[in-house]
Structure 1
Amino acid sequence: MANVCPYGRFTHAVVRGIPESFGRASGDGAENGESAVDLAKAQRQFGVLTGALRQKVGLQLIEIPPDPELPESWRIEDVAVIQGDTALITRPFQQQRRSEAEAVRRVVSELNLTVVEMGAEEGGSGGATLEGSDVLFTGREFFVGISSHTNHRGAEVLADTFKMMEQLTDHHYEVLTVPEDAAANCIYIQGPAKTDFLLHRPTDECPESVSAFQKLQDYTLLPTACSEASKLGASLSSLCLLINRKHTIF
């Protein structure tokens, strides 16, 4: 069973740059009526996110260079689920995305995390698929959304790795409701000085939800744009992996 770190407490953020091929992957595009993506704007928004993580929150930032041959590799959340000292390397649904894990595997190994390979669990073929964007960790348990990209076997491998997932839960959660679906994806981090940070979509992207975030008076709110990534079905958390690693040897 993986060791569990305090919820929201991180030391490192791992990101992967926006490649020139952003938005060109098969299956991407404006299937939901979205306009075409703006590469330069996406790269600027990525820079704002990484700047907030490094300069405002105080995390150590590890940036993997963009790879134009891997047009979806900026969706770094999909290829690993990390909790405590364990990193589960996932198995994305699309075969062409699985090579995205190589650079992430190298980084988490250098951070001395225990690496669990979903491919190894499956004998390297067939069966489980899991993408990290379908996984939510609440600090107490994992929730997995079964989707076209994540199946039940993938959820079972996650449960076997972390031993913290139940079919039903009796935990009580306080709920903050936002009127826009896109606003529900936020990044919570407890900073080095025990400051609670919440990165959330800004007013121009989710105008009806900002008032809900403002009710969180004990949080430092960091509005962070994500409009271009969202046109491809991604969200703020898609763009980073958060790790708690105090003792790192390189």
Structure 2
Amino acid sequence: MTNPATHFTHAISRRPGASVTHGLRAEDRGAPDLARLRAAHDAYVATLRSTGAKVTVLDALEEYPDALFVEDTALCLPEGAVMMRPGAASRMGEVAQMRPALAALFEDLRDIHGPGHIEGGDILFTGREVLVGRSARTDATGVAELRAVTDEWGHSLREVQTPPGVLHFKTDCSLLDPETILSTKLLDASGCFEGYRVLHLPDGEEAAANAIRFNDAVLMPAGFPKAAEMLSDEGYDVRLIDNRDCALLDGGMSCLSLRLNV
């Protein structure tokens, strides 16, 4: 039986709009190249499809520059989906735009009503538990509201702390298989992955931490040869994606899709 945290029948992504050049970023390192970003996004979607999954690509939302980072709008679990409540005010409207696509796929659709905030980038579902990192975008009240749903659905939720200066919990970690986490040494030092096998990013390649296991492929950003070699040596089917432009907007592999089974 495949694990619902690593194997999926469907994914939802969103085409980057021209307004993406105005997206949020913790540090301004220049504007992304729109044409190159769209080409990389096409390669990302094609890689997901190559695993046999159905991938829905939603239209761009020019009024929401960060809308290509669909993962922050929802958490998809086997029992249903939970619509998030982003911690960035400019992104709040993205949730309503995502809702119709998920309502067409899930009978049980829940909402984080607030006043707390929580974003999908802070949530790592491993199959055995739901790990949620408190961050600048996810607060204790938002986590508590999500816990009420996961408790009802029979999933254990464990609240952990995202290191200061790290945007999202999954900025620094990824699930490679049900027993194995890819993590920066900084995040793993907190002890949050006790009970898992942890692979550390090579020094200087910490920015490769956000990867995704999608069926039998591991999508990771290109440009980190030591990390790619390490994962290949571990037996993973590594697929490299040009993430230069998404990285300028603090985005990565997991941010660009919602992954689900329906």
Shorter-normalised TM range: 0.7 to 0.9
Letter in 2 for 1:173: Y
1:167 CA displacement: 5.1
Query: Normalising by structure 1, what TM-score?
Result: 0.83
Gaps in structure 2 of 5+ consecutive residues:
161-191
Query: Counterpart in 1 of 2:255?
Result: 238
Letter in 2 for 1:107: A
1:197 CA displacement: 1.4
Structure 1 residues 167 and 132 mapped into 2: Cα distance closer, same or farther (>3 Å)? closer
Q: Work out which of the two has the higher radius of gyration on C-alpha atoms and give 1 or 2.
A: 1
| Aligned 8 A contact 2:123 2:131 in 1 | yes
Structure 1 residues 24 and 167 mapped into 2: Cα distance closer, same or farther (>3 Å)? closer
Give 3-state SS (helix, strand or coil) of 2:38's partner: helix
Which structure is higher in RCO with an 8 Å CA cutoff and minimum separation 6? 1
Query: Counterpart in 1 of 2:120?
Result: 132
| Aligned 8 A contact 1:5 1:244 in 2 | no
Query: Counterpart in 1 of 2:220?
Result: 200
**Same amino acid, percent of matched pairs:** 27
| 1:156-167 equivalence runs, <5 A | 156-163=144-151, 164-166=156-158
Query: Counterpart in 2 of 1:221?
Result: 238
1:175 CA displacement: 1.2
| Aligned 8 A contact 1:64 1:103 in 2 | no
1:170 CA displacement: 8.8
Structure 1 or 2: more strand by fraction: 2
1:94 CA displacement: 2.4
1:239 & 1:85 partners in 2: Cα distance? 22
Query: Normalising by structure 2, what TM-score?
Result: 0.79
Query: Counterpart in 1 of 2:196?
Result: 173
Query: Counterpart in 1 of 2:167?
Result: none
In structure 1, which of residues 10, 32, 56 is the aligned counterpart of residue 27 of structure 2?
A: 32
Query: Counterpart in 2 of 1:248?
Result: none
| Aligned 8 A contact 1:14 1:64 in 2 | yes
Q: Which runs of 4 or more aligned residues in structure 1 lie more than 2 Å from their structure 2 counterparts after TM superposition?
A: 4-7, 31-36, 166-171
In structure 1, which of residues 117, 123, 148 is the aligned counterpart of residue 136 of structure 2?
A: 148
2:66 & 2:196 partners in 1: Cα distance? 33
Letter in 1 for 2:249: L
Give 3-state SS (helix, strand or coil) of 1:208's partner: helix
| 1:63-82 equivalence runs, <5 A | 63-82=57-76
1:224 CA displacement: 1.5
1:216 & 1:136 partners in 2: Cα distance? 21
Q: How many residue pairs are counted as aligned between the two chains?
A: 224
Structure 1 residues 5 and 104 mapped into 2: Cα distance closer, same or farther (>3 Å)? farther
In structure 2, which of residues 102, 112, 116 is the aligned counterpart of residue 118 of structure 1?
A: 112
2:158 & 2:135 partners in 1: Cα distance? 18
Give 3-state SS (helix, strand or coil) of 1:176's partner: strand
In structure 2, which of residues 209, 221, 225 is the aligned counterpart of residue 184 of structure 1?
A: 209
Give 3-state SS (helix, strand or coil) of 2:158's partner: coil
| Aligned 8 A contact 1:5 1:84 in 2 | no
2:225 & 2:7 partners in 1: Cα distance? 29
Give 3-state SS (helix, strand or coil) of 1:45's partner: helix
Letter in 2 for 1:181: E
Structure 1 residues 117 and 33 mapped into 2: Cα distance closer, same or farther (>3 Å)? closer
1:231 & 1:159 partners in 2: Cα distance? 32
1:230 CA displacement: 0.8
